Amino acid sequence: MASSPVKTCVMLLNLGTPDAPTPAALRRYLSEFLSDTRVVEIPRVLWWLILHGIVLRLRPRKSAKAYKSIWTDRGSPLLALTQDLADAVRRVLDSDGHDDIRVEIAMRYGNPSIISRLEALRRLQVDKLIVMPLYPQYAAATTASAFDAIAAVFKTWRRIPALNFIAGYHDDPAYIAAVSESIRSFHAAHGAADLLLFSFHGLPQRCRDLGDPYVEQCLDTAERIAAQLGLPHVAWRVVFQSRFGKAEWVKPYCVDVLKSLPCEEILNVDVVCPGFAVDCLETLEEIAITNRDIFLAAGGVSYRYIPALNAGEGHARLVAGLIKERL
């Protein structure tokens, strides 16, 4: 970072990624991620025993293999695509006359860490910080955890900048329009399938019972996108992916639905994941590869994943728009 003072900075936050697709790097990453009390809400002593006695002994090797299958010359897709998005947002802001605004990225877990980015910004004497977690739908395990990390750093500072924290944008018209246009463009190029699945990251049912608005926001997002596309109700469904552990999670589970669709004579499926700003392990390996194999093995004929918005112009403009509203 430059040493001259910066008045306003935007920080785009994403979940995070290991530094390398190796068991050792995954162990470090998963230890940080799964130690967050917002992510796993069970008694600490019990979870510590499970985490260190089972999870961190078995999961890193399996996860490293999955990461290796999607790793690129630039490293982690999530990190590279998040940086691409930040660069695209910066270009939009520059073209709109806001070339004095700095745009940085940080990861909730892993690198570049929130604390390292904030300490660098403190040296730049930033007066105002706009933090945008790249989670359209609010959940305590993601959005609130990001706020916790920001607040934990600020608690140690004598002087803190003005803070504007964007806690979600699940119903923002520009976001709905950008996802809708992405789906429309995909269908224009490849044709539409029998069914469009909106697949969101799963959530333990207990979190919903405790008051997380996440599921309702996911359903609202899908409803708005489907309405903008003019889809009848029979042409789309909402599912939830990436269930972990034995507890009940919100349903329907993506895998279960994919296995059942051929029995309903639905043999061609498109899947989109509006909750992911950029593509990552979960979309590129789980959704695009593993779940495709599951659907085809169950009797499906065609399965296609519609990519995330990534660093597309529509995405950059919607992020820049949300930022400009807070200037």
* pLDDT score at 242: 86
Cα(63)–Cα(76) distance, rounded to whole angstroms? 13
Cα(67)–Cα(41) distance, rounded to whole angstroms? 26
Cα(318)–Cα(166) distance, rounded to whole angstroms? 13
Binding-site annotation, residues: 201, 282
Phi, psi of 106 (to 5 degrees): -150, 160
Query: Which domains are delineated in the chain?
Result: 23-70 (no CATH), 173-306 (3.40.50.1400)
pTM over 0.75: yes
The residues that bridge with 201 in the sheet, in sequence order, are 241
* pLDDT score at 247: 82
Strands 8-17, 128-133: pairing is: parallel
- Are 286 and 271 a contacting pair, CB within 8 Å? no
Angle at the Cα of 258 from the Cα atoms of 255 and 263, rounded to 5 degrees: 135
In a structure prediction context, what are the per-residue pLDDT tens digits for the chain, which is 327 residues long?
A: 455 567 999 999 999 999 999 999 999 999 999 999 999 998 999 999 999 999 999 999 999 999 999 999 999 999 999 999 999 999 999 999 999 999 999 999 999 999 999 999 999 999 999 999 999 999 999 999 999 999 999 999 999 999 999 999 999 999 999 999 999 999 999 999 999 999 999 999 999 999 999 999 999 999 999 999 999 999 999 999 988 777 899 999 999 999 999 999 999 999 999 999 999 999 999 999 999 999 999 999 999 999 999 999 999 999 999 999 998
Binding-site annotation, residues for Fe(2+): 201, 282
* pLDDT score at 256: 97
Residue 8 tokens, joined: 């306003």
Residue with tokens 């990519």: 307
Q: pLDDT (tens digit, 9 = 90+) per residue, 63-94?
A: 999 999 999 999 999 999 999 999 999 999 99
Peptide bond before 133: cis, by omega within 30 degrees of 0?
no
Q: Pick from 242, 163, 236, 235: which is nearest to 198 by CA?
A: 236
